[in-house]
Structure 1
Amino acid sequence: MMDEHLPAARVSDDTHPRPQMARARWTDLSGPWGFAFDDEDRGVRDGWPRASMPFDRSIIVPFPPESRASGIGDTSFHGVLWYRRSIGQEDLAEAGHTEGNSLLLHFGAVDYEADVWADGLHLAHHEGGHTPFTVELPPIGTGGASTVVVRVRDDPEDLAQPRGKQDWQPEPHAVWYDRTSGIWQTVWLESVPPLHLTHVAWRPDAAAARVHMDAELSRRPRPGTQLRVRLSCDGTPLAEGTAVCAPGTARTALTLDVDALRNGQDLDRYLWCPEHPVLIDAEVALVPPGGAAASDAIASYFGFRSVGTDRGRFLLNDRPHPIRAVLSQGFWPRSHLAAPDADALRAEVQLIRDLGFTTARIHQKIEDPRFLYWADRLGLMVWEEMPSVYEFGARSTRRLLDEWQEAIHRDDSHPCIVAWVPFNESWGVQHVAMDGAQKDLLRAAYHLTRSLDPTRLVISNDGWEHTGSDLLTLHDYENDPRSLLACYGTFEARARWIRGIAPNGRRVAVGTPEEQASTLEQPVVLSEFGGVSLHPDHDGAWGYSLVGSVDELEQHLRDLFGAVHRCAGLAGWCFTQLTDTQQETNGLTDADRVPKIPLDRLRAIIVGEEHPLSDAPDFG
């Protein structure tokens, strides 16, 4: 038995910044940090990493300085930011630190380039504004403290930098918003043995009642070191296994001791889906040769589910599952891309589910892992999308693909994620239909993503021109419901444009003949539609369609959703958008997440309980 080596069965702390790799002890370093702008970029030259004097301002981490929640609230251009915090004995005690352990300082996301010092010693450099990195701190003696300094470079006008919806102009314009610079996800401290787990990835195979696990280790283990794993579901043991650790890694495959999975007669009880989001709890421990106690132990989880396509339909667990999605910007008025707190992330997922959506297309953002945790637990499918660059070249390509690989590595075990989206609307590859090099980048990103994760769908360029793609997705803001029916109502209607120019005026497929043949056979998803704005009440507010009253909004939504529910030529759709976001007033809710129409009436419209257009032609 392995009880003495393994941690508690499930992630009990819903605020853990990395829920699929949760240790029993950690401490959140959110709160006041010293802060300074460095518009002249003189801090390194003047010795700021070593100086003991405090910076001239204080900021509330993890809120970006552009946001009001940070206590700064300055949205003007600042290219270089500095942070400072002392880590003392109270922090070490909360992290459970003991002599001989390593102190890990984790950064959830810092936009865009970060350098980290401790007591003047440079420890790390990281590039990429949406992905995590970890720094090992030097030992801190009994009664001592360590001063951590972080320099962030985030050029607001650099269009070769993955930035998503962050504006490169001084004021938000069109569909772009105020920036989110610097630290914008949790910073936390852990104390771990020198040999510890650095990453765990799960790849379930429901058909074989097996799960494959890959673990990455901090260093080469001693011969005979074992990785021990135990799986359970709602307290019922499912499997135990042991693997011998190789240099830097450990791999194992466990077959679940469950009749329902072996013979398939009651398989649905253990499959993850929005209607029944079953999760398998995992306990993982590293045990040294002859060790009586684990050198490291984490709690994790995964879900059994599969995704695919067939005959024009999206498949979940080998069955057709219509995509009923909403576009989510993940932006809050007071805190920008940073969530106001951990509870807000759960509330966001719950709101999407309460509205009747089964899927969220997270737009131009790598979402906080705790959002994905609640999507896993509450049953929300997610499309994960890489924040775009806005110019094409070798520098932007390197940055984009490096950060995209880090994002996939971070998130590839979340059952909620069913699709990867490396590009949106040809942003960063604006001439892909004509430029062979841009087409090659689109093609390379698709195949790179498939090579890293062959278990999910990959959408090569959401909404616009596609090379090879596992879904054929279109953006169409036609707000006449009869026109939507005419374009997408049947497979026959769809066939009139699918091999030429799409209703949005773009070529549908621009790849090789083989890529085009494959892509044009894939399910069609209307992955942006709607964009209806309730009569704007401030200058610059807009939507793709305007209505003047709540009653008009409700009728217009009833007509639009009634139309797409009748479009047999679609495998699904994604409505724009969940919330009002700065100047975009086309949300189903306002910026504070208050529905513009009573939630029960909105849900009835979204799920199709309302009557469709009474005078629409019958497309059969």
Structure 2
Amino acid sequence: MKINRERLEHPNPQFVRKKWWDLCGTWDFAFDFEECGIKERWFDGREFPEKIQVPFVYQSSLSGVAAEQDCEVVWYKREFGADKKDGKRLLLHFEAVDYLATVWINGNFVGRHEGGFVPFVLDITEFAATGENTVVVRVEDRTSCRQPLGKQSWKSENFLCWYTRTTGIWRDVWMEEVPETYIGEFYVTPDLGHSCVEIEAYISEADKEGELTVEVRFGEELVNRVVQKVKDGKCRMVLDVSSNNPDFRVECWSPETPHLYELKLRYKDLENEDEVESYFGMRRIHAENGAIYLNNKEFYQKLVLNQGYYGDGLMTPPSVDWLVEDVEKMKAFGFNGVRMHQKIEDNRFAYLCDCCGLVMWAEMPSTYAFDRLAGERVMHEVGKLVKKHYNNPSVIVWTLFNESWGVNEILEDKRQQNFVDSLFQFVKSMDSTRLVIGNDGWEHARTDILSIHDYSYDSPYNERYGKLGGHANGVLSKTSLRKNYADGYAYQGEPVIISECGGIAFAGEVDALDSWGYGDRPKDAAEVIARFERVIKGIASFESVCGFCYTQLTDVEQEINGLLDHGHNYKFEPGKIREILDSSKKGGFKFA
């Protein structure tokens, strides 16, 4: 599948309308050290003393802001033009603002959003005017352990594998024009067993009498077109996508054949007409008898852990080309998937995984405390995570917690076990088609996969996973030394994946005195490759294990475990990595 560059430029390639405007670039900016901005009405005509390059946070050198100290409250402002039309509405989109954002248009309050990793949208029609307008955003970020932080350090400095804080707007800001009544959201669920796809669409006004037309194409072929009445603001339909052109009736999505169907939705009533372009992939993921199956074929996962940090941009890539090159390099290394770690990734990255054939594990960033407030915040962002990536065929796993972060006492604490289980069930209620991991790495509660973190390199490492049996309920990892299951839970035959391994620290020619990584430092690149081969081939020899995730794709600040350096350049010859990955767990038919 070729990458559509025009679609890739859109902040959300899964949901494209023709009329949209990019609001990134130079904004006015101010620190609010005294937290007096609201009282002094900074949202109403005040001049801000600095400039910032959105979407880069002030802690990033690409922001253009020279910050001498941390500030928990910051303000943004910019002018934008608008052409208000009868029967049209203006929607203002923020792809991610960390953490609590309050927005004014022309001095009028229009909305507030809490949650640092997920998108939100505001209808600004009633507050905008034809001509010049002003948007002001106040952002408050306490970097509290009770809010989802992911890999941001809650201390005053970086430590171990926690990095520079992120405060403010760190993803795209954009605006689009829609009719008075429009398509609000839709969900695409492939049903490979019946060669069909379910479309569930929601319209912005529930009392409108209209109809929805859904059109599916594959290449130049019109596969199906269905027209259906909208009832109570909702429309659900099932479309047959089989045809005589594919070899076996349906074009399946997989890492080897990342086929995508084009999708167009049109809503129409007496006064309104709205059109959205999208796409979907036909694939099935499920677990059975200790194995994972993709499209009903046993699927061995060769994943790489990606933390989504981009040097001077921190969590924000300097350009979309960085995302393209990352996906191309993962494929060049020979990985068939990526585990997004402690970050909800950009829509365009997910689109690239869809196009290029990389399965993705999507993961909820962690809090680092457990109480009612932390629980509410996690629940809010988990729901938005699932909604954000539901239509991406590359996403096959939802990971809710990592290494008991935010539920540190889950081994014995029934409240924390119940919380993880409730999130597991909550996600299953939103999406019954994917696999869910409750607490990745150790001390599992409810889970579809027994995922284990093990950074060993020694030979006995190759023997511990040979025959699981009752050992699955004990300690298999000799690095974490943690029990696989929390008290009251036991192995039920789930597929086993070593979801963190390797982590070989190597800085190359760079001074590594202050750097961090796993294990003893190898003396040169050749030793890294030899150790990589020992780990990968050792894991591949376990009949009881159906995949692994290597730590990690890139170096990140003080952590130097990457196959790529801080600038996302190769540290090792990709062909050598690929040769090792290709040498193990290959199967299927071969054709001359």
Instruction: Please give the range of the TM-score, normalised by the shorter of the 2 chains.
Output: over 0.9
Asked whether 1:74 is paired with 2:67, we answer yes
Cα distance change on mapping 1:486 and 1:130 into 2, 3 Å:
same
Give runs of aligned pairs for residues 26-175 of structure 1, distance below 5 A: 26-50=20-44, 52-72=45-65, 74=67, 76-89=69-82, 92=83, 98-138=85-125, 144-156=131-143, 158-175=144-161
In 2, distance between residues paired with 1:583 and 1:418?
30
* 8 A contact 1:164–1:365 mirrored in 2: yes
Q: CA deviation at 1:257?
A: 4.7
In 2, distance between residues paired with 1:382 and 1:74?
35
In 2, distance between residues paired with 1:30 and 1:141?
18
Match among 486, 489, 492 for residue 463 of structure 2:
486
Deviates more, 1:407-416 or 1:363-372: 407-416
SS at the partner of 2:401?
Answer: coil
SS at the partner of 1:270?
Answer: coil
Q: In structure 1, what is the equivalent of residue 588 of structure 2?
A: none
| CA deviations over 1:520-552 (Å, ceiling 9, x no partner) | x01110000111011572332021121121122
Asked whether 1:538 is paired with 2:520, we answer no
Q: In structure 2, what is the equivalent of residue 273 of structure 1?
A: 254
TM-score, scaled relative to structure 1:
0.90
| CA deviations over 1:548-599 (Å, ceiling 9, x no partner) | 2112212221222221222222110000011010011011111111121111
In 2, distance between residues paired with 1:395 and 1:458?
23
SS at the partner of 1:326?
Answer: strand
Asked whether 1:258 is paired with 2:243, we answer yes
Letter in 2 for 1:112: Y
Q: In structure 2, what is the equivalent of residue 590 of structure 1?
A: 565
Q: In structure 2, what is the equivalent of residue 551 of structure 1?
A: 526
Cα distance change on mapping 1:342 and 1:578 into 2, 3 Å:
same
In 2, distance between residues paired with 1:137 and 1:131?
19
| CA deviations over 1:188-227 (Å, ceiling 9, x no partner) | 110110101121110110111111111122213532x100
Cα distance change on mapping 1:326 and 1:467 into 2, 3 Å:
same
Q: In structure 2, what is the equivalent of residue 181 of structure 1?
A: 167
In 2, distance between residues paired with 1:571 and 1:142?
58
* 8 A contact 1:111–1:181 mirrored in 2: yes
Give runs of aligned pairs for residues 428-577 of structure 1, distance below 5 A: 428-480=406-458, 482-488=459-465, 490=466, 492=467, 494-495=468-469, 497-503=471-477, 504-510=480-486, 512=488, 516-518=490-492, 521-534=493-506, 537-545=511-519, 546-577=521-552
Letter in 2 for 1:64: V
In 1, distance between residues paired with 2:151 and 2:5?
33
| CA deviations over 1:365-390 (Å, ceiling 9, x no partner) | 00000000000010000000000000
Give runs of aligned pairs for residues 353-502 of structure 1, distance below 5 A: 353-480=331-458, 482-488=459-465, 490=466, 492=467, 494-495=468-469, 497-502=471-476
Cα distance change on mapping 1:75 and 1:311 into 2, 3 Å:
farther
Instruction: Using the aligned pairs only, state the percent identity.
Output: 33
* 8 A contact 1:98–1:191 mirrored in 2: no
* 8 A contact 2:118–2:385 mirrored in 1: yes
In 1, distance between residues paired with 2:538 and 2:66?
43
Q: CA deviation at 1:392?
A: 0.4
In 1, distance between residues paired with 2:41 and 2:73?
15
Give runs of aligned pairs for residues 248-327 of structure 1, distance below 5 A: 248-259=233-244, 266-267=248-249, 270-289=251-270, 295-327=273-305
Q: In structure 2, what is the equivalent of residue 607 of structure 1?
A: 582
Deviates more, 1:494-503 or 1:239-248: 494-503
Deviates more, 1:341-350 or 1:136-145: 136-145
* 8 A contact 2:290–2:496 mirrored in 1: yes
In 2, distance between residues paired with 1:392 and 1:196?
40
In 1, distance between residues paired with 2:125 and 2:448?
47
* 8 A contact 2:412–2:487 mirrored in 1: no
In 2, distance between residues paired with 1:369 and 1:133?
13
Cα distance change on mapping 1:609 and 1:311 into 2, 3 Å:
closer
Letter in 2 for 1:561: I
Please tell me the root mean square deviation across aligned C-alpha atoms, in Å: 2.0
Letter in 2 for 1:339: P
| CA deviations over 1:360-417 (Å, ceiling 9, x no partner) | 0000000000000000010000000000000000000000011110111111111000
Q: CA deviation at 1:609?
A: 6.7
In 1, distance between residues paired with 2:473 and 2:156?
41
In 2, distance between residues paired with 1:141 and 1:214?
32
Letter in 2 for 1:217: I
Q: CA deviation at 1:603?
A: 1.5
In 1, distance between residues paired with 2:420 and 2:332?
36
| CA deviations over 1:442-466 (Å, ceiling 9, x no partner) | 1111111111100000011000111
* 8 A contact 2:464–2:476 mirrored in 1: no
SS at the partner of 1:552?
Answer: helix
Q: In structure 1, what is the equivalent of residue 220 of structure 2?
A: 235
In 1, distance between residues paired with 2:487 and 2:394?
29
Cα distance change on mapping 1:473 and 1:320 into 2, 3 Å:
same
* 8 A contact 2:305–2:340 mirrored in 1: yes
Letter in 1 for 2:252: L
In 1, distance between residues paired with 2:6 and 2:252?
22
Cα distance change on mapping 1:75 and 1:608 into 2, 3 Å:
farther
Give runs of aligned pairs for residues 189-200 of structure 1, distance below 5 A: 189-200=175-186
In 2, distance between residues paired with 1:323 and 1:13?
28
Cα distance change on mapping 1:75 and 1:495 into 2, 3 Å:
farther
In 2, distance between residues paired with 1:557 and 1:167?
29
Letter in 2 for 1:483: P
* 8 A contact 2:105–2:128 mirrored in 1: no
Cα distance change on mapping 1:78 and 1:318 into 2, 3 Å:
same
Cα distance change on mapping 1:387 and 1:509 into 2, 3 Å:
same
Q: In structure 2, what is the equivalent of residue 579 of structure 1?
A: 554
Unaligned runs of 5+ in 2: 586-592
In 2, distance between residues paired with 1:362 and 1:75?
31
Cα distance change on mapping 1:318 and 1:35 into 2, 3 Å:
same
Count of residues in correspondence between the two structures: 578
Letter in 2 for 1:320: E
* 8 A contact 1:130–1:365 mirrored in 2: yes
Q: CA deviation at 1:140?
A: 7.3
In 2, distance between residues paired with 1:11 and 1:553?
36
Asked whether 1:211 is paired with 2:235, we answer no
Deviates more, 1:25-34 or 1:142-151: 142-151
| CA deviations over 1:152-204 (Å, ceiling 9, x no partner) | 11112x10000100001122101100012111111111011010112111011
TM-score, scaled relative to structure 2:
0.94
Letter in 1 for 2:511: D
Letter in 1 for 2:561: N
* 8 A contact 1:67–1:74 mirrored in 2: no
* 8 A contact 2:106–2:128 mirrored in 1: no
In 2, distance between residues paired with 1:66 and 1:75?
10
